[in-house]
Amino acid sequence: MKKICLLSLTLALTGGLALPSAMRAQATAAATRGGMAQAGVAFSYSNEDQYIGKHLQGVTLYGTFDLNNHLGVEGDVHLDSALKSYFGYTESSYDVGVRYVRHYRRFHPYAKALVGLGHSNAPSPTQIVGGSSPGTYMLFGLGGGVDYSLSNHFNARADFEYQRWPNFPPHGLTPPIFSVGVAYRIR
């Protein structure tokens, strides 16, 4: 019995001294950067299919969370007609998806693929081709842009997103959205 107790005590002490060095050997690399998040607001400019030559101006709210150094998720709320619309026509979209980002010093270019819902509204259903407004439709979006590190906690962003609303009568809606804004970064 004394031999078992003495052996257990020796292993515990030896393991306790060796364990911290073994834990340091398992540290993750500094380049993984996982867990970085940001939340931002941007001015958005959208070219409309419904009124050729007219443009909507609004606000975009966005958030990102990077899972590792290159892969992350992004969510966008586009209130495209919040600042300027035509003939009472409004448009908004809510989408979420994945993004792939690269890091070059202060520049962080990215590409994104999103899915979500888009909502359009017009004062009169006959005002829009096909009588599609008001209505909510599924959308797909592809885009990209660049985040620029202004400081440890702030990023500036230029973003382009091309949306496709395939069920919008009669032939779908394809609003391209360009936005410029600033975000607060949480590490």
Which residues are bridge partners to 156 per DSSP? 148, 182
Q: What is the pLDDT of residue 124?
A: 72
**pLDDT of 148 above 80:** yes
Full-model pTM: 0.78
Which residues are bridge partners to 176 per DSSP? 162
Decide if 59 contacts 93 (C-beta within 8 A): no
Each residue of 159-168: pLDDT tens digit? 999 999 998 8
Cα–Cα distances (Å) from 82 to 53, 101, 105, 148, in that order, read: 18, 29, 35, 26
Each residue of 105-146: pLDDT tens digit? 999 999 999 999 999 888 776 666 656 678 889 999 999 999
Q: Find the Cα–Cα–Cα–Cα dihedral 103, 64, 162, 95, rounded to 10°.
A: 160
Each residue of 32-87: pLDDT tens digit? 556 789 999 999 999 877 667 778 999 999 999 999 999 999 999 999 988 888 77
Q: What is the pLDDT of residue 98?
A: 98
Mark 114-146 as b/e (b = at least 16 C-beta within 10 Å): bebebbbbbeeeeebeeebbebebebebebbbb
- Secondary structure of residue 14 in the 3-state scheme: helix
Q: What is the pLDDT of residue 101?
A: 96
Residue 104 carries which DSSP code?
Answer: B
Q: What is the pLDDT of residue 85?
A: 83
Decide if 60 contacts 81 (C-beta within 8 A): no
Is the CATH number of domain 37-186 2.40.160.20? yes
Kindly indicate the confidence band of residue 173, based on its pLDDT and cuts at 50, 70 and 90: confident
What's the average model confidence in pLDDT over 20-37? 57
Q: What is the pLDDT of residue 129?
A: 61
Q: What is the pLDDT of residue 132?
A: 66
| 52 vs 177 pLDDT, higher one | 177
Which is nearest to 47 in space by CA: 39, 60, 56?
56
Residue 109 carries which DSSP code?
Answer: E
Q: What is the pLDDT of residue 126?
A: 65
| 14 vs 89 pLDDT, higher one | 89
Q: Which amino acid, residue 169?
A: P
